[in-house]
Amino acid sequence: MILIVDDDRSVTASLTLVLKQAGRATHAVGSPAEAVAWLKAHACELVIQDMNFSRRTSGEEGLALIAEIKALRPTLPVILITAWGSIGLAVEGMKAGASDFVTKPWTNTQILQVVDTAIGLASTRAETDALPTRDALDAQYDFGPLVGDDPRILRILRLIGRVSATDASVLITGESGTGKELIAEAVHRNSRRQAKAFVKVNLGGISSSLFESEMFGHVRGAFTDARHDRKGRFEIAHGGTIFLDEIGDLDAASQVKMLRVLQDRSYEVLGSSQRREVDVRVISATNRTLAEMVSRGEFREDLLYRINLIAVHLPPLRERPGDIPILTMRFLQAMAHVYRRDPLSLSASARRWLQAQPWPGNVRQLRQWVERAVLVSTRDVLEIEDFADTADMDAADLLRDPLPPVGSMTMDELERAMILKSLRHHGGNISKVAESLGLSRAALYRRFEKYEIPT
């Protein structure tokens, strides 16, 4: 049962009809007092409420009602109805515990999507079963190239698997290279929109002057160089999913335009006055901390609440070292196929060394190191030196401590790696290798024997 709370009978009648046609039972009341009394006596799965119930437009009555509902039923989802000019008030309602908000006027499709999403998310959050294994998750969902079985990764996979079936907006945060795009693709692949378009947009690469044309399209003659009609990204994504990468890079003017289309689910093509409706699932990503940007006035709070109905934060690779060998082996298998090599593997010492690296570039950097090592090394079992040598190619390496992290290598492993590096550097000239290492030729030969280094 859905409870509708609004003192405007035309609103309650309209919502009741739309929801009834969708097969959902409703009950309508006209005041906060009636709403609270009804909730105390009846089961309810969702509340849709207005923010004002008198001539006052402060929204205090609506906020007070949310507080009473949450005190009575803490997990009951609440959807707010407000005017566009009162979105700030709706944000206050979201802070008070509301699940979502809809601005007037709305469309029937919009109402039904918001209701279905809120109810679907409520049932997902109510599930408190134990953390599943990776095999169990893979049997239930299609996570494709997503690799890892760290407990935090398993929680993320379980969450995105469950919310994929809804149309909830998802905000993915995390450092560069952690795999935010892979998460977005997994959400789309497990959703009811999987057969439709998945459109990726790097907002950091779109200038403010081109924003409307890129996102909403333009008609011929809209501006000087507009010689042909062009479809915008939202039109291309219609019916599917749009992935808004680097959303934290949007300037203030573009943020307003983005909020409009996400809230109203409609837009105007540049050069045309005709509005077009759009049906898309919105997934956003950023490596910036949007909450801090909001506090500094750099990002709109109402836009933040619109895009992060579900928030997913990806941990950096250095915080899940257990996944590094799994990722490395996956990359080695892929590279062996690409470069037509025999099956490749990793020595135990190389595995420990990789797990101890700081990985500022995260998974992307690990993949790059593996590919370089495969290209440079002729061995089928990669050693520390295969990665250490190619790591020097990173520009960031110049700013890093040249010594390996404490605990990542034993003295013997470090000495062996340096001898091999010196041999390659001096082209196998034993005298020069010994001189560069501060050893006599006899001492160097003893180490060749100790570390089983062929000469």
Domain boundary among 315, 342, 358: 315
Average pLDDT for 327-353: 93
Alpha carbons 69 and 37: distance in angstroms, whole number: 10
Query: For the chain, how many structural domains are there in total?
Result: 4
Residue 129 pLDDT grade (very low, low, confident, very high; cuts 50, 70, 90): low
Q: Are residues 349 and 425 located together in one domain of the fold?
A: no
3-state secondary structure of 266: strand
3-state secondary structure of 319: helix
Instruction: Render pLDDT for 300-318 as a digit per residue (tens, 0 to 9).
Output: 999 999 998 899 999 999 9
Q: Does residue 44 surpass a pLDDT of 90?
A: yes
**What single DSSP character describes residue 408?**
S
Residue 91 pLDDT grade (very low, low, confident, very high; cuts 50, 70, 90): confident
Q: Are residues 248 and 374 located together in one domain of the fold?
A: no
Q: Does residue 435 surpass a pLDDT of 90?
A: no
Q: Does residue 57 surpass a pLDDT of 80?
A: no
Please list the alpha-helical segments (H only) found in 199-249.
211-216, 233-237
Average pLDDT for 247-263: 92
Domain boundary among 106, 126, 146: 126
Under 8 Å between Cβ of 69 and 78: yes
pLDDT computed for residue 397 by the predictor:
47
Domain boundary among 107, 126, 145: 126
Q: Are residues 168 and 306 located together in one domain of the fold?
A: yes
pTM passes above 0.85: no
User: The domain that contains 94 carries what CATH number?
Assistant: 3.40.50.2300
Q: Are residues 342 and 230 located together in one domain of the fold?
A: no
Q: Are residues 118 and 139 located together in one domain of the fold?
A: no
Average pLDDT for 318-346: 94
Q: Does residue 23 surpass a pLDDT of 60?
A: yes
Q: Are residues 148 and 297 located together in one domain of the fold?
A: yes
Q: Does residue 122 surpass a pLDDT of 90?
A: no
Q: Are residues 149 and 240 located together in one domain of the fold?
A: yes
Alpha carbons 161 and 363: distance in angstroms, whole number: 21
Instruction: Render pLDDT for 95-111 as a digit per residue (tens, 0 to 9).
Output: 888 988 888 778 888 89
Q: Are residues 266 and 402 located together in one domain of the fold?
A: no
Alpha carbons 455 and 445: distance in angstroms, whole number: 9
pLDDT computed for residue 389 by the predictor:
75
pLDDT computed for residue 173 by the predictor:
96
User: The domain that contains 168 carries what CATH number?
Assistant: 3.40.50.300
The residue segments making up the domain with residue 238 are 134-315
Instruction: Render pLDDT for 209-249 as a digit per residue (tens, 0 to 9).
Output: 889 889 998 887 767 677 788 889 999 999 999 999 999 99
Q: Are residues 231 and 354 located together in one domain of the fold?
A: no
Residue 84 pLDDT grade (very low, low, confident, very high; cuts 50, 70, 90): low
CB atoms within 10 A of CB 98: 25
Spatial neighbors of 194 by CB under 8 A, at least 6 apart, are 188
User: The domain that contains 438 carries what CATH number?
Assistant: 1.10.10.60
Residue 39, Cβ density class (10 Å: 0-12 exposed, 13-18 middle, ≥19 buried): buried
Instruction: Render pLDDT for 146-176 as a digit per residue (tens, 0 to 9).
Output: 999 999 999 999 999 999 988 999 999 999 9
Say which range, 188-192, 265-269, 386-390, 397-401, has the weakest mean pLDDT: 397-401
User: The domain that contains 347 carries what CATH number?
Assistant: 1.10.8.60
Instruction: Render pLDDT for 357-369 as a digit per residue (tens, 0 to 9).
Output: 999 999 999 999 9
pLDDT computed for residue 365 by the predictor:
93
Q: Are residues 170 and 290 located together in one domain of the fold?
A: yes
| Start-to-end CA span in the chain (Å) | 80
Q: Does residue 177 surpass a pLDDT of 80?
A: yes
Q: Are residues 92 and 150 located together in one domain of the fold?
A: no
Q: Are residues 295 and 307 located together in one domain of the fold?
A: yes
Average pLDDT for 411-419: 85
3-state class percentages of the chain: helix first, strand second, coil last, to nearest 5:
50, 15, 35
Q: Does residue 260 surpass a pLDDT of 70?
A: yes
**Greater model confidence, 183 or 421:** 183
